[in-house]
Amino acid sequence: MKRTLFLSVFVCLLVACGKRGPQFTVEGSIAEASDTMLYLEHLTLGSGIVALDSAKLDETGDFCLRGPQPSNPEFYRLRIGNQVINLSIDSTETVAVRARLPQMALGYAVSGSGNCDTIRQLALKLDTLRHAVERIADDRSLTLAERENQIDELVRAYKTDVKLRYIQNRYGQASSYYAMFQSVNGQMIFDPVSDPSDITWFAALATSWEGAYPSSQRTQNLQNIVLQGRRNTRRHVVEINMDNEKVSETGIIDMGFPDKTGTERRLSSLKGQVALLDFTAYSMQGSQERILALRQLYSKYHARGLEIYQVSLDADEHYWKTMSEQLPWVCVWNPEGLDNDIVRLYNLQQLPTWFLIDRSSTLVGRMEMLGDLEKEIERLL
């Protein structure tokens, strides 16, 4: 009877495993992490971060986590608190990771996957760049222009090195995809919005992924980014009269785009408040410094009636959601970029560009017309 019971349990386990289907494995040990929870998470495009498996670590730190086999290269991470290790998986491989918790994010070793080890190298390089950028940004012996120029030079040198050493002739690899989406201080290093050279590299990735994984969501994402970037870098000539007299007659050109929850937010809903209509892309150089300035403006005047309606023209929806998640004002995403009919009516000549709207929903003026934004906001409030 005991044998019959054992066989029944064994068969049930086999059936359960069959239902799960093929899986990949991430195993290893995290030292100095006793009594902490280790999570294996999938970094999806459409659904954000999805938890796949977890383990409570004991004094040995040993773990073995699993997830379903992906149909194309996908990205995952091991996480304890804010410490993360990024991984890529493309089949049913077993990847081994060894680390110590205090230095888990940067001091780990990985085997079983060349792509995962390349991602480890890229993480180290990016950390070095981040520290160098922070040192320059904090150097008050330099003018703002000097700091921006030095940071731009660092980023350009980093991009050239990564292109030649990690991406060129390896466009179909997951590590190349990962490299193209690296960011420093919340700002994408490769600019898929307005840099024709970077768009060409995204196009090379898109072509390679189309050949290897034609139906994957990541292939579609790359193709959309390239199409959007090419639209954005194509010159648009729109015959729209936006002088003050015309604006005062017609008020605002209304628009409605989805926020990060998918809810449509209309510009006209802000009537009764002073609104700053801001067209931007979080992936642009200097975006984070500008966000900090807007935060100060918002904190100072929001209680008195100022609202910001920020339209992102970023090509990557997931990146936009990530970057806008903690912003307190209205953040919406326009997937068509500069080719959207409503956006074209505002005759954008550059990004970022902002417009100021008074409490009666009348467009007061645009960036080039108003030299002192804060003084004008004070006047309208």
- Which CATH architecture describes the domain 19-112? Sandwich (2.60)
Which whole number is the average pLDDT over 261-289?
88
Residue 275 confidence (pLDDT) above 60 = yes
| E strand segments, 44-73 | 49-56, 62-68
Looking at residue 249, its pLDDT comes to: 35
Task: Give the pLDDT confidence of 187-228 residue by residue, as tens digits.
Answer: 788 988 778 888 888 988 999 999 999 989 999 999 888 888
Give the residue ranges of DSSP H helices in 30-83.
none
Which whole number is the average pLDDT over 277-290?
86
Those residues whose C-beta lies under 8 Å from the C-beta of residue 158, and which sit 6 or more positions away, are 125, 129, 189
Looking at residue 4, its pLDDT comes to: 47
Which whole number is the average pLDDT over 231-235?
65
Looking at residue 79, its pLDDT comes to: 95
| E strand segments, 219-297 | 256-258, 264-266, 274-280
Contact predicate 87/77, CB 8 Å: yes
Angle at 71 between CA 27 and CA 65, to 5 degrees: 15
Give the mean pLDDT of the chain. 84
Q: 339 pLDDT band (50/70/90 cuts)?
A: low
Domain borders along the chain are 19-112, 123-232, 244-380
Looking at residue 243, its pLDDT comes to: 43
Looking at residue 67, its pLDDT comes to: 96
Contact predicate 69/22, CB 8 Å: yes
CATH fold for domain 244-380: Glutaredoxin (3.40.30)
* Strand order, beta sheet including 37-43: 49-56, 37-43, 74-80, 83-89
* CA–CA gap between residue 274 and residue 269 (Å, rounded): 12
DSSP-derived pairing of the beta strands 330-333 and 306-312: parallel
Task: Give the pLDDT confidence of 125-164 residue by residue, as tens digits.
Answer: 999 999 999 999 899 898 888 888 898 889 889 988 998 8
Q: 48 pLDDT band (50/70/90 cuts)?
A: confident
* For residue 352, cis peptide bond before it (omega within 30 degrees of 0): yes
Task: Give the pLDDT confidence of 26-45 residue by residue, as tens digits.
Answer: 999 999 999 999 999 999 98
* CA–CA gap between residue 36 and residue 217 (Å, rounded): 34
Max avg pLDDT among 211-220, 251-260, 315-324:
211-220
Which whole number is the average pLDDT over 321-343?
82
Whole-model pTM: value is 0.60
Contact predicate 187/158, CB 8 Å: no
Which whole number is the average pLDDT over 120-129?
95
Q: 234 pLDDT band (50/70/90 cuts)?
A: low
Task: Give the pLDDT confidence of 60-80 residue by residue, as tens digits.
Answer: 999 999 999 999 999 999 999
Angle at 374 between CA 325 and CA 146, to 5 degrees: 75
- pLDDT above 70 covers a percentage of the chain that reads 87
* CA–CA gap between residue 11 and residue 18 (Å, rounded): 10
Q: Report the range of poorest mean pLDDT among 161-170, 251-260, 310-319.
A: 251-260
More confident residue, 20 or 159: 159
